[in-house]
Amino acid sequence: MIVLTDNQHALAKRKATHQGISLSEYIRRLIDRDLEEAAPAQSITALFGLFDDGGSNIAAGKQAMISDAINKQFAEEGL
C-alpha cells in the first residue's frame, strides 16, 4: 500500500487523467523511470587515454598552438 497526501493523490490523479492513463499506470511509469535512472553509471576512467595518439601536449604547448593557429589564419587571409 502506498499512502499519499490528499493533495498528492489529487494532483497525480489529474496528471494521469491528462495523460489518458490510470493512476496505477502513472505511478508504475514513475517508478520505472526512477529505477532506470538509478542504474549505476559507468566509470569515467574508460574515457582516459581514449583519444591519445601521443602527438600533442596541450597543457605544455598551448601558447605555441594558439600562436600557430593565429598565424595560419592571418596567412590564409593575406595579412
pLDDT digits (tens, 9 = 90+) for 41-51: 677 776 666 66
- CA-based nearest residue to 24, from 34, 9, 37, 36: 9
Residue 38 pLDDT: 60
Residue 63 pLDDT: 82
What is the phi/psi pair of residue 64, to 5°? -65, -40
| Tens of each residue's pLDDT in the chain, 79 residues | 889 999 999 999 999 999 999 999 999 999 998 888 666 667 777 666 666 566 666 677 788 888 888 888 888 877 6
* Residue type (1 letter), 30: L
Residue 36 pLDDT: 82
Whole-number Å distance between alpha carbons of 12 and 67: 59
pTM equals 0.47
